[in-house]
Structure 1
Amino acid sequence: MKLATYGLPALVIAAAAILSSVFIVDEREKALVLQFGEVISVKETPGFYFKIPLIQEVVRYDDRILSIDTDAIEVTPLDDRRLVVDAFARYRIADPVRFRQAVGGAGARAAEIRLTDILLAQMRETLGGVTSNDILSEDRAALMALIRDAARLQAEKIGLTVVDVRLKRSDLPEQNLEATFARMRAEREREAADEIARGEEAAQRVRAQADRTVVELVSDAKRQAEITRGEADGRRTGIYAAAYGADAEFFEFYRSLSAYEEALKGSNSTMVMSPDSDFFNYLKSSTSADK
């Protein structure tokens, strides 16, 4: 009876002691075994481990790659064109003993604050030594590598390894945006005015060339017309001369009939002439005017 009365509590106490002395480290973490606040063992391999209950404690740290985002800060490059930049970093706890010594019991939050300060300082130093065009161009990859390497040297002092650093944003401050947009707008308007002026100049050249071509074509057409008209007049005169030479009497008669037709054309059928006028000579007799 006494054995049952005292044996069961003792068994429970023994089981609790055994359970409190066993701990598990999985593949995603590292563990430190502390005794009175001092590190006495580092457990980095996954598995079961033992500790002394009540005397020793286990502190676990994430062994995966972690991320951190920095606040946006203003940097002043060499060309004094201020930019607002922010970044994110990937890091991991490489040395848990040094990490524990650096941050104590504050844990990951204190480490992130210190790492953020390191990143911001390196961003200001690195980006302040180049121009804004370098920051905004494809060369920014080399700048991020410089920031990462410099931050890695500082982070090793607190047991961290900086895996990567990337700039997320590189913008102008709000107070500079309007001035920058105004300058860009003025540059575009100047370029547009230059293009319009060049277009007007080209149009004037085309119009002048067209006007000269018109004058040349009209002059040539008039010259050809005068030549054709002169040739026609010559041929007409030749035809008249040939007709007159063939039959002078008939030619005179034909010319008189043509003159009658022109004189009596339309509603005008009245003419006042001297009785002895030769105009109606062929209407006076059946003979020619010479007879």
Structure 2
Amino acid sequence: MKRITFLIPAAVLAVAVLLSSIFVVDERQRALVLQFGQIRQVIEEPGLNFKIPFIQEVVFYDDRILSLDTAPIEVTPSDDRRLVVDAFARYRIVDVVQFRQAVGVGDIRRAEQLLEDILNPQIRAVLGADGVTSNTILSADRAALMVRITAQARALAEPLGLEVLDVRLKQTALPAQNLDATFARMRAEREREATDERARGNEAAQRVRAQADRTVVELVSEAQREAEITRGEADAQRNRIFAEAFGQDPEFFEFYRSMTAYERALRQQNSTMVISPDSEFFEYLGGSGVRP
């Protein structure tokens, strides 16, 4: 009975020691076996592995591509138009031994701080270089700028055991204090363009109105000319008819003309006349109604 009581704790201890000596590295990881803080083994292949229990420890590192979003920073291109830029980077741990020696026990958080300290100065240096303006940064040419930032950051990150795969500018904007001035300048520019458009429209409208007035004058003059011609032709035809009628019966024509003169002279609003009694005007107003 005492032997069984002794064997059970021993078996439990043996199982615990065995379990503490076994560790598994999966395909997404690489591992370092440390003994009193010193690197004893680098494990880069997935599978089951062993360590000395209670003396050695295992530190795992992600073997996948990692991402880092940098904090927004302010840059000043060559045209002195300040911009706020934030970027993101893709990187991976390529040398776990070098990474451990450079970063220490800080692990990924410390590595990201060091990597951000590399990225931000490179972003400022590339975007603030001669010939790089805000328009360049905001245009399709920014792709070449990102390639330059990636190449420079990759060279500086190698001592950390990191490989910078890509750096991208995520957002580019104006500082808050510059937005109002920029909006005011844009508003003034749009108002100037609107004023120019209105002025050109008024000029075009005046040209159209002047052309229309000229056309009206020309049409009215032409119509009046044609009316005068028609009126003259009508008067000539009337006179011709009168002449023909007078030629056929001069006495009747003269009588008709006298009656017409009486009608016009003795209208209601002009019925009083002062004229000599023996005037020829009363030729047909005699008692007999016949010329003497």
Question: TM-score normalized by structure 1?
Answer: 0.93
Displacement after TM superposition at 1:265 (Å): 2.6
AA aligned opposite 1:198: R
Which residue of the partner structure matches residue 84 of structure 2?
84
Mapped to 1, the partners of 2:211 and 2:28 lie a distance apart of 82
**Structure 1 residue 76: Cα displacement:** 0.9
**Distance (Å, rounded) in 1 between the aligned partners of 2:137 and 2:106:** 36
How far did residue 17 of structure 1 move? 1.2
Task: Tell me how far 1:237 sits from its aligned partner.
Answer: 1.3
Q: Tell me, yes or no, if structure 1 residue 45 matches structure 2 residue 45.
A: yes
Provide the secondary structure at the position in 1 that maps to 2:184.
helix
Q: Does 1:236 align with 2:238?
A: yes
Q: Which runs of 5+ in 1 are unaligned?
A: none
Q: Deviations over 1:115-151 (max 9, x none)?
A: 1111101101111111110111122122222212221
For structure 2, the 5+ residue unaligned runs are: none
CA-CA distance at 1:269 after TM superposition: 4.8
- For 2:193 and 2:272, the matched residues in 1 are separated by 79
Distance 1:14 1:143 in 2: 60
Report the aligned-residue RMSD: 1.8
Q: Secondary structure at the match of 1:23?
A: strand
CA distance in 1, matches of 2:274, 2:45: 144
* Residue identity opposite 2:10 in structure 1: A
1:25 and 1:45 in contact (8 A); partners too: yes
| Residue 161 of structure 1: how far off its partner (Å) | 1.9
Structure 2 partner of 1:16: 16
Letter in 2 for 1:242: E
How many residues align structurally? 290
User: Partner residue of 2:97?
Assistant: 97
Q: For 2:7 and 2:174, how far apart are their aligned partners in 1?
A: 76
> Is it true that 1:35 corresponds to 2:20 in the alignment?
no
| CA–CA separation in structure 1 for the residues paired with 2:186 and 2:171 | 21
- Counterparts of 1:55-94 in structure 2 under 5 Å? 55-94=55-94
* CA offset digits 1:248-281 (Å, max 9, x no partner): 0110111122122222333655545433232232
Which residue number corresponds to residue 184 of structure 2? 182
Contact 1:33–1:58 (CA<8 Å) still a contact in 2?
yes
Distance 1:224 1:237 in 2: 20
Residue matched to 1:173: 175
C-alpha displacement at 1:21, in angstroms? 0.7
User: 2-side partners of 1:80 and 1:270: how far apart?
Assistant: 100
